[in-house]
Amino acid sequence: MQRRLLVLLLVAAAPFATAQDVPYCGDEGVWLQILGSGGTDLDDQRGGASYLVWIDENVRLMVDVGSAAALRFDQAGAAFADLDAIVFTKLQARSLVDFPSLIEGSRTAMRERPLPVFGPAVPGGDSVSAMIHRLMGPEGAFPRLAPFLDVPSPAGYRISVRDVTAIGMRRWSEFGTRNIALSAVPVNHGDIPALAWRVDIGDVSLVFAGSFSNQNGVIAGFAKDADALIVHHAILNSARGASLDYFATPTELARVATLANVRMLVLGHRTTPTLGVESISRDFIEEHYSGPLIFADEMECWGL
């Protein structure tokens, strides 16, 4: 498909947009929608980081299911039956917190095929499959959702959870449909298992690097020539101490984007310390990266 110039449908949506305020992501091509652009702060009026990938009017992928993601999914007009997969970038409440709500709401979604779900795992340690079973298994927090993990389920489809190793530097690429191909690599996020995900759709690629400190230096190669690199802007350039084990500074994000030669850099997971000082972060980033730079806001939709 021919690559178009980036199209911004919405410059800045209200944090609690109504269905009437939500942009339509277009009838053709590949679109990135920001469901939630915040972190875990209680004073930012933003949902937790979560994203949708649309192809030709149909939602095909959901990346993370942060707070308010189930509501935003509904507001976006997405059809649960169209999803090819859901992927998680890390084993943390902020990435999975709204997953039970999303699944509870899917009972009437008319889905008839299994739902693949992928996320990080550490051999001999924690895993996305274990976490979901702790949430939704027969002995979990929400045992009434346990049938969704079996056949037959109350909604006519089954959740198929698969662990992806989140240690080392090996690239995983074992899932694809006629719509998308997924690959993943482990990234460093302190002591929390985490992955970056690449989504290839014909000649269009998106990389969801999420929260990472870039200590293993894999993102630049993994995101090579991607159309969009989605990262988390959680700390300032002046950050010190333990936060540097979990997140990359704006300067480091810019260097990665330049090395990767990405067309567009999207800053999501915007925390309270980084809000209101975007001009400072922009200055640091533009010293090293000259491409389009987006500070993500709720429900924005971008054409690739």
What pLDDT does residue 290 have?
96
Half-sphere exposure of 78 (CA within 13 A, CB side): 31
In this structure, which topology does domain 24-296 adopt according to CATH? Metallo-beta-lactamase; Chain A (3.60.15)
For the whole model, what pTM was predicted?
0.91
DSSP 179-212: S-EEEEEEE-BTBS-EEEEEEEETTEEEEEEES-
DSSP label at residue 34: E
Q: Which residues of the chain fall below pLDDT 70? A: 1-23
Give buried/exposed letters for 153-173 (b at 16+ CB in 10 A, else e): bebebbbebbbbbbeeeeebe
The pLDDT tens digits for 23-65 are 678 889 999 999 999 988 888 889 999 999 999 999 999 999 9
What pLDDT does residue 23 have?
62
Among residues 251, 256, 245, the alpha carbon closest in space to that of 221 is found at: 256
* The two structure tokens encoding residue 162: 């698969």
Whole-number CA gyration radius for the chain: 18
What pLDDT does residue 21 have?
60
Q: Please say whether the beta carbons of 247 and 211 come within 8 A.
A: yes
What pLDDT does residue 27 have?
85
Question: In terms of DSSP bridges, do strands 172-176 and 181-187 run parallel, antiparallel, or are they unpaired?
Answer: antiparallel
What pLDDT does residue 154 have?
73
